[in-house]
Amino acid sequence: RLATERCDAVIAAGSNGAYLKSRLSVPVIIAKASGFDVMQALARARKITPDIGLITYQETMPALSEFQSTFGLNIAQRTYATEEDARSQISELKAAGIKAIVGAGLITDLAEEAGLAGVFVYSAASIRQAFDDALELARLTQLESTRGRSFPVADTLRAKHHINDLRGDSAAMESVRQSITLFAKSPATVLIQGETGTGKELAAQAIHRAHPQMQGKVQAHHPFVAVNCGALAESLLESELFGYEEGAFTGSRRGGRAGLFEAAHRGTLLLDEIGEMPLPLQTRLLRVLEEREVVRVGGTRPIPVNVRIISATHCDLDARVREGRFRADLFYRLSVLRMTLPPLRERPDDLAPLAEWCLKNALAAMDIRPHANLHAEILRCTPLLARYAWPGNVRELRNMMERLALFLAAEPLQALTPNLIVRIAPEILRDDGSTTLASAMSAPPAVHSGSEETLRDVLARFDGNRAAAASYLGISRTTLWRRLGEKN
């Protein structure tokens, strides 16, 4: 019925989802249990018995070992691939004295057949999310039939940024630029790590632009393509990356459509937020990297591709590998070359020049000429800016400067002062607990007042000049001596 009746998408989970996905031409949305779902299910099972069985499809959950020791639970984990496997695992758990089984629908049904308590692992919120993903897929496939383009999420781009756009004279940024120049010479994969707003896509474009093939060449022959792996449901991301054949799903484009791997042929594909990619797609991606060919959804013909892969993430992929949330073999394949972009709070010397550059650009965008005193005014505001942690990094700084530019443009005689910044961006005081501008300006920079390593790093930056280091930290030389002595 699913194959013949009008159907835009199918929602399933576990082994049912894997089975249907391999046999249906329509997209299958896989419902997934979150960590909170699992904890809730275990809590319900704990009311029945402290000895609990957890049966999951193909992969265990290594992170549960710490959870069960913390909460005094005895959790026996098992996996299954077929219904026969599931029956066998349930029989073994029953023989071992397990009284309650947590799992998907098939598992709970089989557990109850065996006389055990079955606890359904999925929450209503997870099921609603699957429905939301399916509805979004239906909407996008309708766009496909009317616009002739499937998922308008990422397009072939010309890389707009180059290495000089990574601004900053600090040693950390100089090291980043050196790495970009070096990495551009190699076709190896690159993993760029860094907090939100540090410029990961900008760095990826700079690597692409600095490649020897790009020097003096037409960029259309060497495309730069980017996709956010965390912004799409699994089925959408699969079709976007690998393309699809005609008839692969309801509303699919006549003749099919090339995916982003094909669009990026002879160029660069940026996989942004790679840490959010679902495990099943990680397996497909690994195969593409190993074989250097892609098979479209609903197709069988391998298509050779020559693509340089750059991945970016704000999360700790090493930790995700240890937790079983990211494939170790894919991690090693993607991280032949690695680069970490420093957060803005670790680049204090770059703060004032960056703020001035962002503000001048924002004013220029409104056809406003910056007044002659702007540089001096930025320097007077720098102590206030330096006390903010900048969780959004350079992106947040740029946004704040655009806000300031709007107010400065509206009042041409208005000087840039700490008071104006606080009025327009009050979060700059809340971040370090200050309640007034005076207390914020008088407090030592939070980013510099911590460990011995931090104090000594500042001292080294000024070649051992304690007076200069103390002035930079906003403390007296006596206080600096005392703090260094306390650390010894």
* Full pLDDT tens readout for the chain, 488 residues: 555 556 777 888 777 777 777 677 677 888 878 777 887 888 888 889 888 999 988 877 776 776 666 666 788 889 888 888 899 999 999 999 999 999 988 899 999 999 999 998 887 777 888 887 777 666 666 555 443 444 333 444 556 677 888 888 899 999 999 999 999 999 999 999 999 999 999 999 999 988 766 554 445 468 899 999 888 888 788 888 888 776 555 454 555 678 888 888 889 999 999 999 999 899 999 999 999 998 888 778 888 999 999 999 999 999 999 999 999 999 999 999 999 999 999 999 999 999 999 999 888 888 888 888 889 999 999 999 998 999 899 999 999 999 898 888 877 778 888 988 998 888 888 655 554 555 555 544 544 343 344 667 667 666 676 765 665 555 656 666 766 765 55
Give burial (CB, 10 Å; 0-12/13-18/19+) of 152. exposed
Say which residue the tokens 């931090």 belong to: 454
Q: Name, in order, each residue with C-beta under 8 angstroms of 422's C-beta and a sequence gap of 6 or more.
A: 384, 428, 429, 437, 440
Report the pLDDT value the prediction gives residue 121, as an integer from 0 to 100. 86
Give burial (CB, 10 Å; 0-12/13-18/19+) of 147. exposed
Report the pLDDT value the prediction gives residue 188, as an integer from 0 to 100. 94
Report the pLDDT value the prediction gives residue 446, as an integer from 0 to 100. 44
All structural domains of the chain: 35-121 (3.40.50.10660), 156-340 (3.40.50.300), 345-448 (1.10.8)
Report the pLDDT value the prediction gives residue 148, as an integer from 0 to 100. 40
> Degrees (nearest 5) of the Cα angle 278, 280, 282?
70
Q: Name the token pair of 270.
A: 């940026």
The pTM of this model reads 0.60
Look at residues 231, 53, 20 and name the one whose alpha carbon lies nearest to residue 140.
231
